[in-house]
Amino acid sequence: MDLMHHSKEEFIEQIAAGNKVDTGDWMPDDYRQLLIKQIHMHAISEIMGAYPEKEWVKYAPTIQRKLALNAKIQDEIGHGHMLLRLAEDLSAPLGRGREDLLHDVLDGRVKFHNVFHMSAPSWADAGVIGFLVDGGAIITQAMLLASSYAPYARMLKRIVAEESFHMQFGESVVLALASGTEVQREMLQQAINRWWPAMMFFFGPREMGPQSQRMLEYRIRTMTNEELRQKFIARYVPRIHALGMTLSDHELYQDPDPPHFWHYTDPDWDWFNDMVHHNTGPMSQARLALRRGAQEGLAWARHAALQAHATIDVRAATL
Ligand SMILES: [Fe+2]
Ligand SMILES: [Fe+2]
């Protein structure tokens, strides 16, 4: 996008006409702030999302499952660091670097995704996270492929491709359990009972706040929370029933008339808000403690990598 006069009105017109903003383009301050908020939280959530699954690597039932789960976790950490590069570029004019962005989750300056505050007490949870959470992430991230910020959309192409492998891993675990013994089927049912209500708050509140509204106006995102949730429900209700599993939400039904809206039991939004704002979920503090251990315990490795990078730069400059 080429904006000669750098006016906010022109910027909004260009976005509405479907033009994209690229690296180095001028952007209004509030657009930059909203991008940082979105991409920073996304990056940190990818990293925090690795923890519930990491707990299950050593208990994976076969070497193939262990390798696949390990690869998924490495992908998620990779997604986090790729996205941090974007957030870092956007934050540089504000004087904030990667260390600050990584540290922010530890002192509550950035939230992490609501579902990663929940517990994953059985192997079936590791499968259901891939099946439902990565399945939900694909819906959100496919919407973000149309984002007005081109570097984010480009990066998401690769991320979404990898998320589809994660979903297939989860689906494979879920199918194995669904066609297993009674004990395995019960373990799967219990995990679905835990994660379905979490998926109802995965996409966020029905009423979106002013910042989310602004993200829609700027086309950083292109669908509402409720539109995304409806898409998820429509896709997953038949899949879960096809596994021979049940959904315990008695208010879950689809309107027979167009637009065939799905009704569901609303999550306890007060409980939800408290959890995401004050880290009071069942596993919030435990996961933050793991993150703190990694952040502080591996500071030497980041420092050494930066030193090595600086040395290579000096050598390259003298060749
Ligand atoms: Fe990911
Ligand atoms: Fe994933």
Q: For position 177, what pLDDT does the model report? A: 98
Average confidence (pLDDT) over 216-236: 97
Q: Are strands 253-254 and 262-263 parallel, antiparallel or unpaired?
A: antiparallel
Is the Cα torsion angle 290, 291, 297, 301 positive or negative in sign? positive
How far is ligand 2, taken at its centre, from the CA of residue 19, in Å? 29
How far is ligand 1, taken at its centre, from the CA of residue 79, in Å? 5
Which band of pLDDT confidence, cut at 50, 70 and 90, is reported for residue 152? Answer: very high
How far is ligand 1, taken at its centre, from the CA of residue 277, in Å? 22
Q: At residue 13, what is the residue type?
A: E
pTM recorded for the entire structure: 0.93
How far is ligand 1, taken at its centre, from the CA of residue 70, in Å? 13
Mean pLDDT taken over the chain: 94
How far is ligand 1, taken at its centre, from the CA of residue 48, in Å? 10
Name, in order, each residue with C-beta under 8 angstroms of 239's C-beta and a sequence gap of 6 or more.
Answer: none
β-strand partners of 263: 253
- Let me know: does 257 contact 286? Beta carbons within 8 Å: no
Q: Which CATH architecture has domain 8-318?
A: Up-down Bundle (1.20)
Hey, how many other C-beta atoms are within 10 angstroms of the C-beta on 48?
23
Ligand closest to 47 (CA) is 1
- In tens, the pLDDT along 92-148 reads 999 999 999 999 999 999 999 999 999 999 999 999 999 999 999 999 999 999 999
Compute the CA torsion angle 188, 189, 195, 201 (nearest 10 deg): 150
Hey, how many other C-beta atoms are within 10 angstroms of the C-beta on 64?
10
Average confidence (pLDDT) over 35-45: 97
- Let me know: does 263 contact 175? Beta carbons within 8 Å: no
- In tens, the pLDDT along 6-22 reads 788 999 999 999 999 99
Q: What angle do CA 273, 274, 277 make, to 5 degrees?
A: 80
How far is ligand 1, taken at its centre, from the CA of residue 258, in Å? 34
How far is ligand 2, taken at its centre, from the CA of residue 136, in Å? 10
Q: For position 302, what pLDDT does the model report? A: 86
How far is ligand 1, taken at its centre, from the CA of residue 126, in Å? 14
Ligand closest to 170 (CA) is 2
Task: Locate all alpha helices (DSSP H) within the chain, ordered by sequence.
Answer: 8-16, 29-48, 50-54, 63-91, 98-103, 123-128, 134-144, 150-178, 182-202, 210-217, 225-242, 269-278, 284-297, 299-318
How far is ligand 1, taken at its centre, from the CA of residue 247, in Å? 26
